[in-house]
Amino acid sequence: MGGLARRGAEAIRDYVEAGGWLLAFDEAVDWVADELPVPVRNRVRDVASQDFFVPGSLIKVDLDPSNPLAFGMPDTAVAMFARSQVLEVRGLLRADPAANVFGNYAVEDYLVSGWTLGGDEYLAGQAAALESSLGEGKVILLGFTPHFRGQPRNTYKLLFNPLLQSTVGRRPASDQDFPRPPTR
C-alpha cells in the first residue's frame, strides 16, 4: 500500500466521507479503487501488455463541458496516455449519480499521435474522467495525467476545476454560477 498504510487510507476515507474532495489520476486510480468504497475500477489493470499497451500516445477525450469539472473545456481534448488507466463503473449504470462520467476516450479516431495495441478493444469509448460520491464528499478520477510533463495545456482545467470546485462548497447550477477569478 505504499507510505499511507491502513491508517492513512482510513484517514483519507474519513476525510472524504465528511465532505472532503479527493482528486486522483493515472496510477493513483488503482489505489483509490482498492482502498475506498467507490464503484470504480481500472479496466486495464490486469490486462497483459501483449493485449493492451499504449506507451505514450496522444488520445482524444470527449468531454461534457456542461459539467463544472470540465468547465471551459472544448467538447474534445487531447490527453497524453502513457501506460495510463481506463476507468469503468462497477455494478452500476453509467448514468447512476453515484458515478458520473464526464469524459470518455473517443469511440472512433481516438489516436491523435503515437500507437496503441488493443486500443479498439480496451480504450475506445471507455471512461477517462468521472466523479463519484462518497459520503458527503467527492472522489474525482482521471485515467490520465492532466499535466503530463507540463505539456498538454488543454487538459490543465481538468486538474484545476476540481480543486476550485472543492473550495466552493456547492456544485454550481450552471456556468453562470461558476466562480470567476477577480479582474484587475
Instruction: Please state, in angstroms and rounded to a whole number, the distance separating the CA atoms of residues 62 and 175.
Output: 19
Q: What is the pLDDT of residue 97?
A: 57
Higher pLDDT, 151 or 63: 63
- Structural contact between residues 72 and 180, judged by C-beta atoms closer than 8 angstroms: no
Please list, in sequence order, all residues whose beta carbon lies within 8 angstroms of the beta carbon of residue 10, skipping any fewer than 6 positions away.
none
- Asked whether residue 94 carries a pLDDT value surpassing 90, the answer given is no
pLDDT band (50, 70, 90) for residue 172? very low
Please list, in sequence order, all residues whose beta carbon lies within 8 angstroms of the beta carbon of residue 174, skipping any fewer than 6 positions away.
none
- 174-180 average pLDDT score: 54
Min mean pLDDT across 59-73, 125-139, 166-180 is at: 166-180
